[in-house]
Chains A and B, each alone.
Chain A
């Protein structure tokens, strides 16, 4: 089906404007801070993202609606036999239903709130280091490389994608951008100067022993990504 969606997406693109412009000029020159693309193009980018994510060792959880996303997260929790899950604040996807469902299933949920002092910070750090996995929303995704852009905020700290052994990352399907240059432009210099940004491409990995690839050195060893579909416009 993905191939078919891709074909249709390509046809629509071709009919609307010259192909060269669609790939290079149009997206890059757009003055809109939050680029939203049409559903067809979105499917194409999501499937490219999925391929690249899998190529670097990540798992793609499909393009669920916000409602379906809850079930996907629960499935990961069940597979891991998770007892404790950290959940970061959402951007476009409200994580409350996920939290409720996890708690209903008997899981302890760590909600991240801004930390006022050193003690709070140390406590949170300890919790994140011990939890089974973390659910967090990414600001953007990059289709060409299978990358997730995470802008750190007090409610969505960088540690969420660093300390837990497994990550479930949600990204809004309309926030999947074609390439690195487009993504950096969308994020913008102002955001980078005032927040920490991490581009995450797959699980933590090393090739330091005889150039053999091993996943999960310091960061997460597993990354699951759901491209949340908020409906067609």
Chain B
């Protein structure tokens, strides 16, 4: 197992997270604001659906001929003067970069925002080799100062309020306390500018790699990726092998959907195209460009016809923001570099270990599939992975129920319920009966514990006590009820 995932059980971690009402408020605020931006930007771009379909088609095509495209990309990158290293796993990628830093005597390393380097846990490895590694994306910088891991793909510090960050900067950067985002950002700018100008090595990820031209495309808003790839003498980009696309003409379709979904912008502030090291006479740019192509479990995903689709992911992070589970527990509970719905489908292949249970951390509501810019059918993959995980525990075949009689009884129970539910009078009578029984045990309209077999429900959530409201509504005369409704609406 790679260091990119922490051994922890989602279900234990999520229980603690869900009880943290402060965290939930922060998450609801930030994700809600994101979804508003996305909805607004999409509404004014009629071609969105067409661009989305085009992006999906290009990804289908690129992943289907990933072998040829990677050969072409490697050739072109080398022709442009880059050094290409193909890493089968996280350890190989880490070793290559650490050795490179050591050989070139680079001790000061700046990182642009990158999920792939989080995936391979590069920072601890570089630190162990004696390098001073500084994250330069503001959100990443904040979580690095806290000694934490990012809790979101796009917004790493989504779990922190501006007051949290004010206290952090006061303690670590020794600036007077302020919770003003502008002042906090200015303090970070000043500090990080010095770091950039002194850095010997820059490391970033890549959003796309164009096979036709041998070009890496880096999409960002702050300028941290541009700084990291322009100022240091040595530049290293770590890209998952699935990032390759055929040509420059394909790129515009992705750029039209990526920012709109990721941040609700039409286009990010910076779209950087890097094809190679600086040329004779150039005033800036790195002397050496190294591209690390990372497999790390992606070939396994490719071999699974259902899971393959997960390789289309652009890492926009939108599925996290719409996910009812993510919005309540946040990213850390997942115990993986990639949290949320997309994390639940890619983590088991990339990290294994405890992340194998992540496909169960979903209600299968389908909101992730709806918002995905390349229409990845995440619920389908979740079910597929659940089936695989369950089957893996048995003899490899579809599991037969452990208790056939219990399974039959459950089925009969559901059938009885559906018959009953078709008779409104029965439902009402039984509901009232249940309310009478539960009323003495209820707190604020909820029962926290029920005897078996109902304890299976109350073990994980409270049960709402049915009320008599409907009867009261009915007993009113039409005029009375209308007046009451008007009263509540205004």
Q: List which A176-200 residues lie within 8 A (CB) of chain B.
A: 179-181, 184-185, 189, 192-200
Interchain CB contact under 8 A, A180 and B181:
no
Check A105 for interface membership: any CB of B closer than 8 A. no
B424 to chain A, nearest CB (A): 45
The residues of A that contact B272 with a CB separation of less than 8 Å are: 196-198
Known: A129-B197, A214-B182. A199 touches B284 (CB 8 A): no
Residue of A145, A157, A181, A214 with most chain B CB atoms under a 10 A cut-off: A214
Whole-angstrom distance between the alpha carbons of A211 and B224 in the complex?
Answer: 18
Residue of A at shortest CB range from B45? A144
**Do A210 and B161 touch (CB < 8 A)?**
yes
User: What total of chain B residues lie within 8 Å of the partner, measured CB to CB?
Assistant: 70
**In the assembly, what is the distance between CA of A189 and CA of B76, in Å?**
12
Q: Tell me, rounded to whole Å, the shortest Cβ–Cβ distance linking B237 to chain A.
A: 13
Q: Count chain B CB atoms within 10 A of each CB in A116, A158, A196 and give the residue with the most.
A: A196
Return B52 CB to nearest CB of chain A, in Å. Answer: 15
Measured between alpha carbons, how far is A152 from B278 in the docked complex, in Å?
10
Mark contacts of A7-50 with chain B using CB atoms, 8 A cut-off: 1 yes-contact digit, 0 otherwise.
00000000000000000000000000000000000000000000
Q: Are A162 and B226 in contact (CB under 8 A)?
A: yes
Q: Which of A194, A216, A218 contacts B275 (CB 8 A)?
A: A194
A139 at the interface (CB under 8 A from B): no
The listed residue (B33, B155, B161, B266) touching A52 by CB distance below 8 A is: B266
Q: Are A206 and B185 in contact (CB under 8 A)?
A: yes
Q: Which of A115, A193, A211 contacts B282 (CB 8 A)?
A: A115
B236-284 with Cβ < 8 A to chain A: 247-249, 251-253, 255-256, 263, 265-275, 279, 281-284
CB distance from B61 to the nearest CB of A (A): 18
Closest to B251 in A: A184
Q: Does A65 make an interface contact (CB < 8 A)?
A: no
Q: Which of B142, B230, B255, B265 contacts A158 (CB 8 A)?
A: B230
A147 contact set on B, CB distance < 8 A? 267
Please tell me if A202 contacts chain B, counting CB pairs below 8 Å.
yes
Question: Is B185 a contact of A219 with CB atoms below 8 Å?
Answer: no
Please, how many residues of chain A have a CB less than 8 angstroms from a CB on the other chain? 55
* A67 lies within 8 A of chain B by Cβ: no
Interfacial chain A residues near B205, Cβ < 8 Å: none
**Is B409 in contact with chain A by the CB < 8 A criterion?**
no
Contacts of B181 in A (CB 8 A): 209-210, 212, 214
Pairwise interchain contact A157-B283, C-beta atoms closer than 8 A: yes
Identify 12 residue pairs between A and B in the complex whose beta-carbon atoms are under 8 Å apart, listed by A's number. Answer: A157-B283, A162-B227, A192-B275, A193-B80, A193-B213, A198-B272, A209-B142, A209-B160, A212-B162, A214-B181, A217-B224, A219-B223
A residues whose Cβ falls under 8 Å from a Cβ of B: 52, 56, 112, 114-116, 120-121, 124-126, 129, 142, 144-147, 152, 154, 157-159, 162, 179-181, 184-185, 189, 192-212, 214, 216-219
Measured CB to CB, the residues of B under 8 A from A are: 26, 29-30, 33-34, 76, 80, 136-139, 142, 155-158, 160-162, 165, 181-182, 184-186, 188-189, 192-193, 196-197, 210, 212-215, 221-224, 226-227, 230-231, 247-249, 251-253, 255-256, 263, 265-275, 279, 281-285
